[in-house]
Amino acid sequence: MAHRIVDKEKLSENVYRMEIEAKYVAEAREPGQFVLIAYDNDRSERIPLTIADVDLDKGTITVIFQAVGKSTIEFASLNVGDSFDAVAGPLGNPTDIEKYGKVVCVGGGIGNAPLYPIVKALKQAGNEVISILGARNKELLILEEQFKEISDEIITVTDDGSYGRKALVTEPLGELCSKGEIDLCVAIGPAIMMKFCCQTTKKYDIPTIVSLNSIMVDGTGMCGGCRVEVGGETKFTCVDGPEFDGHKVDFDQLIKRLGSYKKYEQQAAAEHNCKLEGKL
Amino acid sequence: MKSNMELLKELMEKEAAGELTNKERMKIPQQPMPEQDPNERRSNINEVALGYTEEQARIEAMRCLDCKNAPCIEGCPVQIDIRSFVKQIADGKFTEALDTIKQTSLLPAVCGRVCPQETQCQETCTLGKVMKDPMKAVSIGRLERYVADRCAEQSESPKVAEDTGKKVAIVGSGPGGLVAAADCRRAGHKVTVFEAFHKPGGVLMYGIPEFRLPKELVAKEIETLKQMDVEIMCNFIIGKTRSISQLMNEDGYDAMFLAVGAGLPRFMNIPGENLIGVYSANEYLTRANLMNAYKFGSESDTPIIRGGKVAVIGGGNVAMDAARTALRLGAESVKLIYRRTEKEMPARIEEIHHAKEEGVEVNILKSPIEYKGDEEGWVKSMVCQSFELGEPDDSGRRRPVPIEGSEEEFEIDTVIVAIGNKANPLLRRATPELEYNKWGNINIGENCETNLPGVYAGGDAALGAATVILAMGHGRTAAKAINDYLAEKS
Ligand SMILES: Cc1cc2nc3c(=O)[nH]c(=O)nc-3n(C[C@H](O)[C@H](O)[C@H](O)COP(=O)(O)OP(=O)(O)OC[C@H]3O[C@@H](n4cnc5c(N)ncnc54)[C@H](O)[C@@H]3O)c2cc1C
Ligand SMILES: Cc1cc2nc3c(=O)[nH]c(=O)nc-3n(C[C@H](O)[C@H](O)[C@H](O)COP(=O)(O)OP(=O)(O)OC[C@H]3O[C@@H](n4cnc5c(N)ncnc54)[C@H](O)[C@@H]3O)c2cc1C
Ligand code: SF4
Ligand code: FES
């Protein structure tokens, strides 16, 4: 089954939004779930991407991704009308959406994409939502407008101060926590960011949900490549997660495991770029 | 030395003269399987066993004693009429031989290669009993493979009965699912196979490596199904993309066969098991086989850690396949580490032999108790403990008992854990109404029926890790039950 790209937009440097036909996935999907997506069944790696949104009438899903390596750079080179061979899902457990009260949602970089549907659902469930959006610089800050529409309050920060407040997301997060009244924190972004968010909220005993981005193969619990240590136990991100109690996650291990194929990825991306440059 | 041609001629003459007595037959030398040289094959992924020649096949078939009670047939999980097909090969009637096999087994090219004959038909074969070694029995598997390969082009896709208007869903495209799909389709039902991965074939595709089972053979079987108008939906995960109840209640399926395989890999829960470089065999083999990681860079985008010192934990077929795959991916050395002795290894004898020939070092009576890593989280060494064999346990195998103070440390770059699977939680969590047994496998009755009406299950999903032929047997049984059920329903 081919999955056609029906819309594509460049959101910022290296970040793209794509709307892709995937009728069954769209119908079954709940916030927090992801798909495994591959361009060419014979050759491509299966890449996990969160489903940022769905359109049931059109039978499409939206993914937002950052072109960081061989596969995602290839995705970015595709255009409306091109097709993916595989869009498998929706995988992972949906977010536990309830009325918690006051929720702080922290998104870092591309993490804003997976965070968006969760904020939307939390808002719909009657929560008061404060969104903290962070990025390295102005260029990389995505989805601010969309978050504005669904958040009660929004705080933007950049590492270099090129937009919003010059700070790391943990600063405003710490301030909010110290004021009390926060019932839940949801943090999604680079592993290192989630780690420090959790250290921050831990001090105030605020329950914190994180969504992990381990390396995956099948996404169905068959390979164990996505395993992480949570509360001293080995869990599989794809079937036990991707969301976990952030205070229990061994982030250092996750960060190391994400580096498993660095050597090979750099090689692949370099070769790929050479080829692309050759064509240009 | 006589050539095979001459030997065959001589045997045929004796046969015609009625002189080929059992005593004479027992003197016929067992035909060895031609193989790629171990030094060469350890660096390519081509098939190791090359297959018999026509003369070899006929000579080997003439070793059969044509026993009245044919105990070999009882040893076969699907009761192939072995005695007849072996006789047909001896007589040079190869197409007939294949037809005989196909009456009961749908995938002879696969089974001839991967069935553990030494614990099935060849274990009960009279000749093997006389020779006191199942490896010296009539080489039934090699003969099955010979006719399957020889007549591959001739066999046409099975006839399909007139459309019944009924719809059957097959979940999982491993050997169990493929066989059930074919049998249900033959009865005239519309059949759809749902597969989670992007390519059908199950373990035949992602687990068992190319050098033991060429993927082309699996692809061919799947092509036959497509010619029969079986629909195959890949990247479709039942329990996620659609649920069992949606298929049955909304999508109009009248019956369903669940053959989703064994699933979740087991780990030992010892320190350091989540270091980088520690793989489950499932992941290692999937990356290598299904995702073609051995072609990384040129024709595949999926990486795999290659080279260095590799340790494989376990003693089954999966462990052997992982060890031999590691060699082919350029490992400097491969150590196989097993808790008991070679005698207790569940792997096929032939595979253990092949692995050793290729240079896999087999370390018995040892088991890891800890992995140690460097600052970046890469596994660097493993600590192993030695064992001795004690009293037999529930499985009848002697229980390994650790020896105090026997710890030793090996340097290592990659570890592949191949100690079995637990039931996959995905379908179970999505379908709480489906009953499971105490081992976490789907609970089935004699005809593969589950507790849900119209829903059948089998293969590894019901048996835990089993074999290709048992999964196929379930596919057969379930398809028959489904066909009966649907005939009654109309
Ligand atoms: C459940 C889940 C949901 C995800 N959702 C999104 C999403 O919505 N949008 C998005 O852009 N990305 C998402 N990711 C991350 C995405 O899968 C990776 O960016 C992608 O696999 C990189 O593949 P590549 O071949 O392009 O790059 P590679 O060549 O594989 O890697 C390039 C660089 O990215 C790092 N990297 C590799 N894999 C990952 C990973 N899984 N996570 C983070 N860094 C990685 C590598 O260390 C390397 O530095 C998600 C991951 C998971 C597990
Ligand atoms: C490395 C290895 C070597 C082996 N060697 C041998 C051997 O030499 N001889 C032998 O007889 N046996 C061997 N076996 C065992 C044999 O392969 C299995 O017993 C057999 O394949 C089981 O068949 P099955 O049809 O039950 O399931 P599988 O072959 O496991 O297929 C199940 C399929 O279902 C799919 N699936 C799972 N969940 C879902 C879902 N929710 N929705 C849709 N699809 C789903 C999976 O992706 C998979 O393709 C080996 C196994 C392995 C792993
Ligand atoms: S048991 Fe062995 S010798 Fe006897 S009929 Fe079967 S294959 Fe031939
Ligand atoms: S991705 Fe394979 S088990 Fe999670």
Q: For A25-57, what is each residue's pLDDT tens digit?
A: 999 999 889 999 999 888 888 999 999 999 999
CA B201 to CA A86: how far, in whole Å?
17
Same domain, B143 and B199: no
Just give the CATH number of A102-259: 3.40.50.80
pLDDT at residue B337, as a whole number:
95
Q: How many CB pairs under 8 A join A and B?
A: 129
pLDDT at A116 (0 to 100):
92
**B420, B439, B464 - which closes a domain:** B420
Residue that finishes a domain, picked among B107, B125, B151: B151
Residues B269, B247 share a domain: no
Domain endpoint, select from B99, B122, B151: B151
Same domain? B59 vs B175: no
Give SS3 for B421: strand
Q: Give the model's pLDDT for residue B358.
A: 92
Does the residue B175 lie in any domain? yes
> Are β-strands B333-337 and B309-313 bridged in parallel, bridged antiparallel, or unpaired?
parallel
Give distance in angstroms: CA of B340 to centre of ligand 1: 41
What order do you get walking across the sheet with B231-233 strand by strand?
B231-233, B190-194, B167-171, B255-258, B455-457
Q: Which residues of B touch A225 (CB under 8 A)?
A: 279-280, 283
Average pLDDT over residues A165-189: 89
Examine the domain organization and report whether B19 and B143 are in the same domain. yes
Residue A128 near residue A154, CB atoms below 8 Å: no
Is A267 a residue whose pLDDT tops 80? no
Domain membership of residue B33 (yes or no) is yes
CB contact under 8 A, B286 and A71: no
Per-residue confidence (pLDDT) for residue B93, from 0 to 100: 93
- For residue A35, the distance in angstroms to the closest alpha carbon of chain B comes to 10
Identify the residues whose C-beta falls under 6 Å from ligand 3. B 64-67, 70-72, 82-83, 86, 125-127, 137-138, 140
Q: Answer whether the bond into residue B392 is a cis peptide, omega within 30°.
A: no
Q: How many domains does chain B have?
A: 3
Asked whether residue A65 is marked as a ligand-binding residue, the answer is yes
**What is the model's pLDDT at position B263?**
79
Statement to judge: residues B228 and B285 lie in one domain = no
Nearest-atom index, ligand 4, CA of A239:
4
Encoded amino acid at B12, one letter: M
Name the residue facing B241 among A25, A224, A260 (closest C-beta).
A25
From B288, which residue of chain A is nearest by alpha-carbon distance? A217
Q: Report whether residue A222 contacts ligand 4, using a CB cutoff of 6 Å.
A: yes
Q: How sure is the predictor about A278, in pLDDT bands with cuts at 50, 70 and 90?
A: very low
Most ligand 2 atoms within 8 A of CB, residue of A220, A222, A238, A239 to mutate? A220
Residue A276 reports pLDDT greater than 60: no
**Is residue A226 annotated as involved in ligand binding?**
yes
Is the complex ipTM more than 0.95? no
Ligand that lies nearest to the alpha carbon of residue B284, given by its number in the listed order: 2
Residue B3 alpha carbon to ligand 3 centre in Å: 25
Judge whether B84 and B91 are in contact, CB under 8 Å. Answer: no
Least distant ligand from the CA of A235: 4
Identify the closest residue of chain B to A94 by CA–CA distance.
B240
Sheet holding B333-337, edge to edge: B278-280, B414-417, B309-313, B333-337, B361-363
**Residue A183 forms contact with B (CB below 8 Å):** no
CA B65/CA B88 separation, integer angstroms: 13
Residue B105 belongs to a domain: yes
Q: Does residue B159 lie in a domain region?
A: no
B270 shares a domain with B258 = no
Residue A134 has pLDDT above 50, yes or no: yes
Structure confidence at residue A270 (pLDDT): 66
Mean pLDDT, residues A240-261: 90
Return the exposure string of A11-46: e unless at least 16 CB atoms fall within 10 Å of the residue's CB, then b.
bbebbbbbbbbbbbbbebbebbbbbbbbbeeebbbb
* Cβ–Cβ under 8 Å, residues B383 and B368: yes
**B209 within domain boundaries:** yes
Please list every residue in chain B whose beta carbon sits closer than 8 Å to the beta carbon of residue A28.
240-242
Q: Which of B241, B298, B318 to mutate to test the interface with A (most CBs of A within 10 A)?
A: B241
- The answer to whether residue B157 is domain-embedded is no
Q: Which of B263, B301, B303 sits opposite A44 (nearest CB)?
A: B301
Contact with chain A for residue B410, Cβ under 8 A = no
pLDDT given at position B177 = 96
**pLDDT above 70 (res A275):** no
CB of A256 less than 8 A from some CB of B: yes
Give the domain CATH number at B23: 1.10.1060.10
Residue B158 in domain: no
- Please identify among residues 199-218 of chain A the ones whose CB lies closer than 8 Å to any CB of chain B: 217-218
Which residue of chain B is at minimal alpha-carbon distance from A91?
Answer: B240
Per-residue model confidence (pLDDT) at position B392: 84
**Domain boundaries A3-91, corresponding CATH code:** 2.40.30.10
**N-terminal to C-terminal alpha carbon distance within chain B:** 66
Q: What is the mean pLDDT of chain A?
A: 89
Domain extent at residue B144: 4-151
Does position A279 have pLDDT exceeding 50, yes or no?
no
Residue contact B426–A220, C-beta within 8 A: yes
Are B43 and B190 part of one and the same domain? no
Of ligand 2's atoms, which has the minimum distance to the CA of residue B200?
49
DSSP 8-state assignment for residue B481: H
Intrachain domains A3-91 and A102-259 with the same fold: no
At residue A280, the pLDDT reads 42
Nearest beta carbon to residue B301 from set A71, A86, A87: A71
Contacts with A244 (C-beta within 8 Å, 6 or more apart), sequence order? A209, A210, A212, A228, A230, A235
Yes or no, beta carbons of A1 and B296 under 8 Å apart: no
CA distances from B344 to A146, B347, B399, B435 (A): 62, 9, 10, 33
Per-residue pLDDT of chain B (490 residues; tens, 9 = 90+): 788 988 988 888 888 888 888 888 888 999 999 999 888 888 888 889 999 999 999 999 999 999 999 999 999 988 899 999 999 999 999 999 999 998 888 889 999 999 989 889 999 999 999 988 888 999 999 999 999 998 887 666 778 889 999 999 999 999 999 999 999 999 999 999 999 998 999 999 888 999 999 988 999 889 888 999 999 999 999 999 999 999 999 999 999 999 999 878 999 999 999 999 999 999 999 888 877 766 666 677 777 777 789 999 999 999 999 999 999 888 899 999 999 888 888 998 889 999 999 999 999 999 999 999 998 889 999 999 999 888 888 877 788 888 988 899 999 999 999 998 888 888 888 999 999 998 889 999 999 999 999 999 999 999 988 899 999 999 999 999 999 999 988 6
From the CB of A97, is ligand 4 less than 6 Å away?
no
User: Are B14 and B45 members of one domain?
Assistant: yes
If asked whether residues B224 and B188 sit together in one domain, one would say yes
- Indicate which CATH number applies to the domain containing B307: 3.50.50.60
- Residue B291: predicted pLDDT: 76
With H, G, I as helix, E, B as strand and everything else as coil, classify residue A194.
helix
Q: Break chain A into its structural domains and give their ranges.
A: 3-91, 102-259
